[in-house]
Amino acid sequence: MRQLEEHIAQGEEKRSTQPKQNPIRAVIIGAGHRSMLYASYSVSHADELEIVGVVEPDDVRRKIAMDAYRLPPERCYTSIEQMTAGPLIADVAFNGTMDYLHVATTLPLLEAGYDVLLEKPIGVSEEEVRELQAAANRLGRTVMICHELRFAPFYAEIRKRILEGAIGEIINMQFAENVSYHHIASAYVRGKWNSQKSGGSSMLMAKCCHDLDLMVWMKAGIRPKHVSSMGGRMFFREEQKPAGAGTRCLVDCPLVDSCEYSAKKMYLELNLWGAYVWHGIEHLGERPTEEQKRESLCSDNPFGRCVWASDNDVVDHQAVVVEFADGGTGTFSLNGNTAKPCRRLHLVGTRGEIEGVLEDGFFTLRYPDLSAPHGYREEQVSVDVTDNMHGGGDMRLVTDFLRVVRGEEPSLSTTTLDDSVYGHFVGFAADRSRVGGHQVQL
């Protein structure tokens, strides 16, 4: 949230100096971190986007959005039904609700006449996804899914090279997302995505459905055919708890100053994942005191729990294997609890290969060459890696969505709903395969 506040503050001066040229009007649906981040595009691009309303049942979050975008009270709603009962107030909606609410909240928006930028995943089941796809097609509405990684210069340039035939036909793809120990502990062990029963999505779908989208995108036009998967919850479970550890870090644990998962270290001393951790005490003010934070972690704040004594049930690692209709294959590895967070890929084609790490800011093209010292030659391609999330894809995604809504030429990275569903179908199939122990045919 602090990153969002700084982004808004930096754009305040531009808000008053930039001329408006019929900006797209948008309403925020669910004033959480993601939708508020997309909405912040309006601060530095007031001529393109104007935030005109918010739907948020939480009083504190609704007030934050109201103040940030100077919204009149009559444009601040507590439910979708309340807003759609009246006339259309905007052109588009930025839907950043929780996973299990995505389809339920988007359907009435489409019926009311809004185009929607929808946070991933599309829905929590294949049936939900197909229901939304059918509604969008029937109504002729645009629904763009927030596959931000498509818009990161790293992946966009790789896709461009593939389309140009740089490595020929893709034979095999290897993708990996390495989720850091403090991220998985905060979001998927202690946090609101720690259980499929309450959050709606498996960890694979909540965290990695856009990685699966990238895999399908690189083979665009060739459909996935078979999916196999395995994985589980191996580390974050009761029997892995260190000897002598307590149940709440700041209450009864003698390891609070030495444990790498200590809530004291992560959230008080380093202030990691504050947008998640302090959500429950936002009513105390935008910047709670250290004492208020400590008291929260000592009481009922789920982020004060021991990571080996939480109610999590999602996987902490999973491997996915996909076979495509042309015989090509792809693998994806979700690796929780890594020391270094990063995304890796290695694409092997009939003429060469591409290998790289998103966060490094470059990728390597490699070609067979018997005249070269090691039997191959290389070309390193540098790309822009900005300090905003998803390798610089977040704001580029908003730019592209607005371009599509205006009827302008879409970018290379543009994804339609009919395109986005395939990566989701791979993910749902992978979870069925993992639980059932068998290959799934699409």
How far is residue 286's CA from residue 274's CA, in Å, rounded to a whole number? 11
Structural contact between residues 226 and 311, judged by C-beta atoms closer than 8 angstroms: no
DSSP code, position 254:
T
CA distance 334 to 152: 20
For the domain made up of 150-236+312-394+405-441, give the CATH fold. Dihydrodipicolinate Reductase; domain 2 (3.30.360)
d(CA 251, CA 413): 49
Predicted model pTM: 0.91
> Is the per-residue pLDDT at 387 higher than 70?
no
pLDDT digits (tens, 9 = 90+) for 146-184: 999 999 999 999 999 999 999 999 999 999 999 999 999
Compute the mean pLDDT over every residue in the chain, rounded to the nearest whole number: 93
* CA neighbor of 107 nearest in space, from 78, 75, 136, 145: 136
Q: Which residues sit opposite 353 in a β-bridge?
A: 348, 366
Give residue 112's pLDDT band: very low, low, confident or very high (50, 70, 90): very high
Mean pLDDT in residue range 323-331:
98
pLDDT tens-digit series, residues 23-49: 999 999 999 989 999 999 999 999 999
Q: How far apart are CA 316 and CA 367, in angstroms?
A: 36
Angle at 277 between CA 273 and CA 279, to 5 degrees: 120
Q: How far apart are CA 99 and CA 97, in angstroms?
A: 7
Return the CATH number of the domain spanning residue range 2-145: 3.40.50.720
What secondary structure does DSSP assign to 93-131, as a single string? EEE---GGGHHHHHHHHHHHT-EEEEPSSS-SSHHHHHH
pLDDT at 16: 41
In the chain, where the domains are located:
2-145, 150-236+312-394+405-441, 250-304
pLDDT of 27: 98
CA distance 52 to 239: 51
| pLDDT, tens digit (0-9, with 9 covering 90-100), for 331-361 | 999 999 999 999 999 999 999 999 999 999 9
Query: How many CB atoms are located within 10 Å of the residue 33 CB?
Result: 17
pLDDT digits (tens, 9 = 90+) for 282-293: 888 878 999 999
337 CB-near residues (< 8 Å, 6+ apart): 179, 180, 181, 184, 235, 236, 316, 317
